[in-house]
Structure 1
Amino acid sequence: MALSITYTNNQDPKNKTSLLSEPPIYQNPELQQMINDGKIQPLIWFDKRKLTDADMEIVAYYLLQDNKTLTQLCLSNNKIGDKGAQYLSEALKKDTVRKKPFTLHLSYVTQTLTTLDLSYNQIGNKGVQHLGEALKKNTTLTILQLQNNQIGAQGSQYLVEALQTNTTLTELYLSRNEIGPQWQQHLQELTENRNLTLDLSGNPRYFENYCVTS
């Protein structure tokens, strides 16, 4: 069942001027109740719930900022786009989130990140830029899953920049995105002198069924 959002004070989320500096001006009672019920659990699964960017502000503010026990959060197969990725990335930069291992299984995201699964959402180049900023200090990533999103050449470059310091990456899944010929340059940067398997199948025709192992 889709989660509904009730806006308060006759305001819309896009009118906010800063991220996570104060409680969200809108509410999603069902989502907030699920957060309250699961806040002490190490594993929380919010996959396949039609969650949107606005919902990610609630998740980032009420769940991630004050996280003390959560190690794995599943947000795959939702409707999360660039703004939602930005909310999550902002929360992941907070010291209270990074004090202990945290896994975001949309996705897995923190300093002990090993697998990042952001598949089947609506994240584009800008969202990847925000996530890249959150990942730049991580040096333990081994598997990154971003299939079935809306990532193009610019997003690929953001990933390259974010992962340049991560020498443990061994698998990168980017199938069924919008990655064009410029990816070849990014691919060379990622695979140079390292053991890395990339899946680019299902992208524009130039890279159809293109999988490279170095």
Structure 2
Amino acid sequence: MASAHADNPILNGRFSDVGTEPCTTPIPIAGYEKMPLVSLEEAVEPLLSLVPGVQRTVWIVKQRCENPLDELSPDESASIMLYTTEGTCGDNSFYSILNSTLRTEDRTKLRPWFLYLKLVLTALSKLPSVASNTTVCRGVKLDMSDQYPKGKTFVWWGLSSYLERQSLKYQDMTIVAEQAVINKQCTILYLPNNEIASKGVSILAAALHDNTTLKGLDIFSNDVGDEGVDSLAQVLAENNSTLKSLKLGWNRITDNGAYYLAEMLKKNRTLVELSLPQNRIGDEGVKLLADALIKHNTTLKKLSLDLNDLVTDASVNYFIDIMNQNQSLTVLDVGDCKLLSKASKKILYAVAESKENFKLDLETRYIQSTRESR
């Protein structure tokens, strides 16, 4: 799905550039598949004169992909991030130059890209596929009906990505909710680093009534606040939604928000992952969540409270009770809760080690947001 702000050339070009797609079918790309798999640094060597600053960008993405998920190698994961990384170069950005080259009739211009294409397409082939009947929407503020007559199939050569950092606001959530949730277009809705706030979340929450398709909702860094959490919690408490993963990191959620989530967990039977890193949840919030998990919830498998700096040693017994008494949870992440003492961490590790197939994470990590520090 393309952003509603298709007139922003830097942030939205990758979504709304359907207007530059050729309406004729270019010659298929051939030759890259015979190339060897090499490191990302080697893959971009032929591109040094074509893409400004690509070496520096490669260094940055490699640093961020040292321990990738989805069974990808660091180079494979970094090759995907290299394409999706936003820059300020407009038409000289990596993704823009690649897409322009993919669309050209002169296939010889693609030869310098073969090593990179081999690497990134190998990486993409290892990721889970979406259902064959999934619809992907792209938008452009142009009338292109003459170029795209009904009933005719077109091949798009440019790559695309998702709705991160598109300056989406609550006014945009009506169309997002309609297309992604109500019209059952998405199984995972990924909206981090936008500005949808509590009003936008209330629109999304309303769309979750009787939802049967959306499985994951990621609204990291959206200024959701406790009010937005309340909207989501009320809907999820009804058990009419199939949502399994809810990610609410960096959203100024306090113990009041934790209360709403705890009340939801007492009734919800579909959610298996609740991610709340880098919020303002303290010991009282941990107590409320622990009570819900110990006495009521039997389905949540992963709880993330890392980087909540207000959590202190007073929460240690709550964490111990969760590990000892809740039967469904297999992952508890409280990494870098800075007020937890070393002694408390040793106690928690000892309890976790006594449980079979349980992961306790107390390690330090850093979560980045495009926003100023909150």
Q: TM-score, normalised by structure 1?
A: 0.68
Deviations 1:54-110 (A, max 9, x none): 21122222x11253433332222322111100011112233xxx345223x4x0xxx
Rg: which structure is higher?
2
1:31 aligns with 2:176: no
Q: How does 1:17-96 map to 2 (within 5 A)?
A: 28=171, 30-38=172-180, 39=182, 40-43=184-187, 44-61=189-206, 63-94=207-238
Q: 1:146 to 1:207 in 2, by over 3 A?
A: farther
Q: 1:100 to 1:60 in 2, by over 3 A?
A: closer
Identity %: 26
Determine if contact 1:140/1:166 at 8 Å carries over to the other structure: no
2:292 — aligned with what?
Answer: 162
Q: Distance in 2 between matches of 1:50 and 1:207?
A: 35
The one-letter amino acid of 2:306's match is S
8 Å contact 2:302–2:330 — kept in the other structure?
A: yes
2:255 equivalent in structure 1: 125
Matched residue type, 2:286: S
Give 1:11's aligned residue: none
Give the Cα separation in 2 of the matches to 1:130 and 1:100: 17
Q: Counterpart of 1:73 in structure 2: which amino acid?
A: L
Change (3 A) 1:41 1:32: same
- Give the aligned partner of residue 15 of structure 1: none
Q: Which residue number corresponds to residue 337 of structure 2? A: 203
Alignment partner, residue 179 of structure 1: 311
Shift of 1:140: 6.7
Shift in alpha-carbon separation, 1:167–1:100, aligned structure 2, 3 A: closer
The structural deviation recorded for 1:34 is 1.8
User: Under a length normalisation based on structure 2, what TM-score does the superposition of the two structures give?
Assistant: 0.42
Select the structure with the greater relative contact order (CA < 8 A; seq sep ≥ 6). Answer: 1
Contact 2:169 2:197 in 1 (8 A): no
Alignment of 1:153 onto 2:288? no
Equivalenced residue count is 176
Please say if residues 237 and 267 of structure 2, whose CA atoms lie closer than 8 Å, have aligned partners that are also in contact: no
Tell me which protein shows more strand as a share of its residues: 1
Judged with a 3 Å threshold, the aligned counterparts in structure 2 of structure 1 residues 184 and 49 are, in CA distance, closer, same or farther, namely same
SS of 2:303's equivalent?
strand
Tell me, yes or no, if the aligned pair for 1:42 and 1:72 is still in contact at 8 Å: no
Q: In the alignment, what sits opposite 2:321?
A: 189
Question: Structure 2 vs 1, CA of residues 170 and 67 (structure 1 numbering), >3 Å: closer, same or farther?
Answer: closer
- State the AA in 2 paired with 1:151: I
Other structure's SS at 1:203 match: coil
Contact 2:237 2:265 in 1 (8 A): no
Matched residue SS, 2:217: strand
CA distance in 2, matches of 1:66, 1:168: 19
Equivalence map 1:78-117=2 (5 Å): 78-94=222-238, 98-99=239-240, 101-103=242-244, 105=245, 107=246, 117=247
Q: Which runs of 5+ in 1 are unaligned?
A: 6-27, 108-116
